[in-house]
Every structure is written in C-alpha cells, then in structure tokens.
Amino acid sequence: MIRLVLFLLAVIVLAGCGVRGDRGHVIGVQDRPTAEYADPPGMVYIPMGSFTMGPSDEDIAYTQNATSRTVSLPAFYMDETEITNNQYRQFVHWVRDSIARQMLYEWDPATFDDYILDIDDEFGNPIDNPPYYNHDARIRWDDDEVLQALIDLGLYRLDEGERFFRRREIDVDRLVYRYYTIDLREAARYTPHERRELGITRRDFITEHDTHIYPDTLVWIRDFTYAYNEPYAKMYFWHPTFDHYPVVGINWEQARAFNVWRTQYLNSYLAGRDRPFAMDFELPSEAQWEYAARGGLELSPYPWGGPYTRDEDGCFLANFKPLRGDYTATGAMYTTIAGFYPPNDYGLYDMAGNVSEWTRNAYDESFYYFGTDMSPDFQHEFDPATDHISMSRKVVRGGSWKDIGYFLQVSTRTYEYQDTAKSYIGFRSVQSYPGVSREAGRAASNVW
C-alpha cells in the first residue's frame, strides 16, 4: 500500500512538472496553427524578384510620366483572369441576401425562421448584426410568401411607373455594402507616445464606407454616344452567356469594396474552423501589375514578349483595336470570354487587352521619380471636401478591347477617376504571400 501511494505521488509530481514543459526557458508559444498556406483557387503565384519597371519602347504618346528603373517586390498571388461577371455576381447576391435577411428579421423576428432555410450562422455571427457583415443568409427565394414580404418591405421596385413589362425586379439602389478601412499610413505618422499625449485612438483612423455595388450597366451607352450598344446594356451583367466575361461598369470604389468583402468572406470561413486569417485581397499596385504582366521577361513591351501583336501564324495575341480600326480582326468585337487568348509565362491571361484594369495606386505623373524602389506604392484616400478632383485619379493598366496597341504595352500608364465606371475597365485581385516564398513556406510547414 505504501509503495502504491508513493507511486501515485510520483505520477502526480511528474504530471505537474509536465505543465511547464519549457523547463524555465524561452521556447516560444507552443501548439500554434500550421503555417501551411494553400494556393487560393483561380490565383497564380508570382515569385519575389526585381525587374526593370518603365518604358521598354519609345514613348509614342510623349507622356513623359514614367522612367525606367529597377524595382523589387515580395511574392504575391494574382487572379489568373480579370474578375468575371459571375464572380462579381456572388458579391452582389451576398449583399442582396444579407439585406433581405435583415429586413425580414427587423420586420417580424417571430416569423423570421419561416423565411430562411437555415438560421445557424456557422461563423458565429449573431443574426441581428447589420446586414453588411458575414451572415450565412439562405433566403427562401422560391417561396411566394417570402417574395411578397420582401416586396412589401420595398426590396423590389414597387412603383408601377418604374416597372418595365410588369417585371418584378430588385431595386439595385438598395444594394449597399458597408465596410470599414483603417488608414495605417496616417496612424504611422504618430509615435505611441504622441498618440497617448494627444489622446488619439484607433477609431480616429477608421473610416466607414457605404458603397453601391451594382455595376453601372448604362456605361455601354454612355461611353459611345453614336453606337448601338443597347443589347450589352440590357444583358451583359446578368445573362448566362456573359457569365465568364470580365465584369465592367465597376468604378474603383466598387472594386475596393469587392476586395474587402472577399477578404472578410474567406476570413469568416477560416475563423469558423479555428484557422488563422488569410492575407488581404487588394487591387494590385502599379509595380505588382507590371511585374506580373511581364511574366519574367525583361524589357519586353508586351506580356507575350517581342515587339509584335501577332504570333507566327499571323493571329493577334490580345483583344484590342488593331490595324486601322478593324475590331473584328482579333476574333472579338467587344469584350470576350476571360482567358480566351494565350497566357504569359506566369500563367496570367489578358494582361493586355480585353478590359483595362484598376490598380490601387493614385495617379501622379511624377511618381516614378519620388517613389521608392522597394515595393513602390502611392495611395491617397480622396476627400471631396478638401482635395482637388485630380487627387481622385487612379492608375489604370493593360489596355482594352477599344484601345490601340500602344495601350497594351506593359509599361503604359493611364488613369480614370475613382468614382467613374467604364465599359472597358475591369479589375483583378492580388494577395500578398505570407513569407519569403512558397517553397520556403512549405519547407517550414514540414519542419514544424
């Protein structure tokens, strides 16, 4: 009996020692999540590297807004094609469902369960949050009673004067996505001591945004006054034929809102599974866009290399306005399905032509002269109350279906105002890689 008691005491003591497995040494926090990072679906890994950013050919337009210099960038992911109509529609439907869910709940919480398929929020968000957060909204859209309730609540167009052929349509003006941004650059101007002395808190750098997210479908008519583009205005965004065509009619603010939603949508999924958050999705910087567009080829004017816009068989390599205006010579007249033309050496499609693409950078003609050579990035949060309208210009890259070959060159810079949508401007996203390289990250995951 005495031996048994002594044995049990020894076990208890040893177990107590095991609670402090570091033996008093600094060994880091244990049981951390795995560092393995899977490639996001539909995105291409772009390795870190340096390249010559700037003109690879004569400055035909004599814009003098760029100079050649060496720039270095860390690794990142980029969408292999521009964001398509169907991908952007997922965002639109999420906002629509969230607003409908909130309307139904506020209207009658007692009957709320009758209008949805599943009220369990797998991400742990309470039902009565505002509709702009990550809800798992499953509205019974095929239920006449639900539709009638939403019609009564005003989600659908009610006024007979607004209805066209008596169609029941969502009031797209109600599709507003609320999100928040934090101005880290402004916060970095203050040291911790200065913030404490001045009473500055995090809320001083947070801005709330309410963005109407439905595409401006009338750009097809507005951009070309004396052209018959009504079929595209009516059908381009919603008809299944155009599901895999690049989304257009999206201004810079809407493109940013999409990336905020995309980030939160993924992070909500990861949080529900106790996994670490992903890096943010963003619009690419000018440098990221040009580096990716070059595909690892130095001093080439186009993503595919050499100085020509045709391949050896005489076929055009992008969707643009060739020759003397023969739009159809490229095999398309307006936009075409994303990924129709061959990719560059990084596996990216349509980095030239089809639609031009927003970047996250503010446009300044002299940026190449004052910007750094390490991940250059020039951002400005436009304030209409204090800033000149020129400060709302954002860099656009890549050329489009209606542009001549000069704008297809990887170094050509142009701009558009951030609140302006066009029938020839779309976007794609990037995501920073969390580490030195994918190879090093996978090696570290295997070690740990």
pLDDT in tens, 53-62: 998 777 777 6
Cα distance between residue 153 and residue 69, in whole Å: 58
Whether 340 and 347 have beta carbons less than 8 Å apart is answered as no
Contacts of 100 (CB under 8 A, 6+ apart): 137, 139, 150, 155
Q: Across all residues in the chain, what is the average pLDDT?
A: 86
The domains located in the chain, with CATH, are: 43-84+215-448 (3.90.1580.10)
**What pLDDT does 341 receive?**
95
Q: Is 299 helix (H, G, I), strand (E, B) or coil?
A: coil
pLDDT surpassing 50 at residue 364: yes
Query: CA torsion sign, 434 to 88 to 205 to 363?
Result: positive
> Which residues touch 51 (CB under 8 Å, ≥6 apart)?
70, 71, 73, 290, 291, 294, 298
pLDDT value of position 79: 98
| 407 strand-pairing partners | none
Question: Which range has the worst mean pLDDT, 247-256, 321-330, 361-370, 436-445?
Answer: 436-445
- Mean per-residue pLDDT for 150-174? 73
Q: How confident is the model at residue 47 (pLDDT cuts 50, 70, 90)?
A: very high
The residue with greater pLDDT, 45 or 130, is 45
Q: Name the 3-class secondary structure at 425.
A: strand
Distance spanning both ends of the chain, measured CA to CA: 44
Q: Are strands 425-426 and 356-362 parallel, antiparallel or unpaired?
A: parallel
- Whether the per-residue pLDDT at 155 is higher than 90: the answer is no
Chain segment 381-406, per-residue pLDDT in tens = 999 999 999 999 999 999 999 999 99
CA angle 259, 262, 266 (to 5 degrees): 145
pLDDT at 126 over 60: no
Overall average pLDDT of the 283-306 stretch: 94
Residue 116 in this model has a pLDDT that exceeds 80: no
Amino acid, res. 407: F
Do 236 and 242 form a contact (C-beta atoms < 8 A)? yes
Distances (CA, A) of 350 to 82, 284, 315, 344, 422: 8, 15, 15, 9, 18
Per-residue CA distances from 338 to 87, 100, 142, 342 (Å): 12, 32, 31, 11
pLDDT band at 38 (very low <50, low <70, confident <90, very high): confident
- The candidate with the shortest Cα–Cα distance to 202, out of 222, 188, 215, is 188
**Mean pLDDT of the 276-304 span:** 95
Q: With H, G, I as helix, E, B as strand and everything else as coil, classify residue 78.
A: strand
